[in-house]
Amino acid sequence: MTLDTAIKLDIRPMAGAIGAEIHGVDLLNDQSPELIQDIRDVWLEHGVVAFRDQPLEPASFQAFAEQFGETVEYPFVKGLDDFPKIMPVLKLPHERNNFGGVWHTDTAYLKTPPMATMLIAREIPSEGGDTMFASGYAAYEALSPGLKQTLEGLTAVNCSAKAEVTKTREDRIADSATSQARETLTGEHPVVRTHPETGRKSLYVNPAHTTHFVGWTEQESAPLLEFLFAHQIKPEFTCRFRWQPDSIVLWDNRCTLHYPINDYHGHRRLLHRITLKGDTPK
């Protein structure tokens, strides 16, 4: 982070390994290239950046997201009628499953998973509904040299149809499905991913989508994957964000996992989501 960035922005880390809130900005009236670059620098350093009290309507929200990259549609659930690249992340009071309610990186089953995801809070329960984030950098760096060497040569298979994550989509598939909603998508990616902008290595598997290693059976893969899944969400690698209306969070899908906590049954929660196009993991 440059000295200019430190002066311009009020940056408050969420935890030791990941996440920062940025205060003192008005995204409704200032989306200057200079500000966007400063935010991007903080985002690349911390993996997750959050803003409070940013009342951006869909057009402004999409314009803000487009400052960071190309926006793309989510494959399984329809977006807003007037803004198809903005997807409602909704849980209704009578529903028991929350969308994406398992630790994951977004759509790792795609050949080119997204670079980033941005959410803005529209309706939030009075308590509950926080989102946790975990650093793939910190998880990788804490591994032993021997295990790092083993993982460097492995490729993981990621599938959209693992039962645990499929269950979290059921309510939205029932009322907002796209034509792809019943397809099974699969992507193969390196277990250790090198970030194309920072050059740092990250552990790139996740419980929601990773099924096995290429050349291994699922049974052979299971013990090592279960170890990695538990390891990558150790408390010291995580932060927790409490939503308020008009909060915005942007996370780097190339080096983080996230988990929306499902502890607000009987309440309505609505966020709007935009996904940013990524590249092929290497």
Q: Residue 209: its pLDDT value, please? A: 97
Catalytic residue among 169, 189, 258, 272: 258
Q: Which residues contact 147 (CB under 8 A, 6 or more apart)?
A: none
Catalytic residue among 38, 46, 106, 269: 106
Look at 148 and 99; give whichever has higher pLDDT.
148
Active-site residue 273, yes or no?
yes
Active-site residue 104, yes or no?
yes
Q: Read off the pLDDT of residues 118-155 as tens digits, 9 standing for 90 and up.
A: 999 999 999 999 999 999 999 999 999 999 999 999 99
Mean per-residue pLDDT, 234-243:
98
Active-site residue 40, yes or no?
no
Q: Read off the pLDDT of residues 5-62 as tens digits, 9 standing for 90 and up.
A: 444 799 999 999 999 999 999 999 999 999 999 999 999 999 999 999 999 999 999 9
Alpha-helical regions (H) of 47-162: 58-66, 136-141, 145-152
Strand partners, 74: none
Model confidence, pTM: 0.93
Q: What pLDDT band is residue 107 in, cutting at 50, 70 and 90?
A: very high
Q: How many whole angstroms separate alpha carbon 124 and alpha carbon 52?
A: 13
Q: Read off the pLDDT of residues 162-193 as tens digits, 9 standing for 90 and up.
A: 867 777 777 666 767 676 766 889 999 999 99
Q: Residue 173: its pLDDT value, please? A: 67
Average pLDDT in the chain? 93
Residue 99 has pLDDT above 70, yes or no: yes
CB 119 within 8 A of CB 273: yes
Catalytic residue among 46, 193, 272, 273: 273
**Range name among 52-56, 99-103, 273-277 with the lowest pLDDT average:** 99-103
Cα distance between the two ends of the chain: 25
Residue 4 has pLDDT above 50, yes or no: no
Residue 81 has pLDDT above 50, yes or no: yes
Q: Residue 82: its pLDDT value, please? A: 96
Each domain of the chain, given as residue ranges in start order, spans: 3-276
Residue 70 has pLDDT above 80, yes or no: yes
Which superfamily, per CATH, for 3-276?
Clavaminate synthase-like (3.60.130.10)
Q: Residue 74: its pLDDT value, please? A: 87
- Give how far Cα 239 sits from Cα of 97, 108, 199, 208, 234, Å: 22, 21, 22, 19, 10
Count of all residues that appear for the chain in the document: 282
Catalytic residue among 46, 104, 172, 193: 104
Mean per-residue pLDDT, 202-206:
98
Closest by CA position to 189, among listed 213, 216, 164, 218 = 213
Q: Which residues contact 243 (CB under 8 A, 6 or more apart)?
A: 121, 124, 129, 130, 131, 271
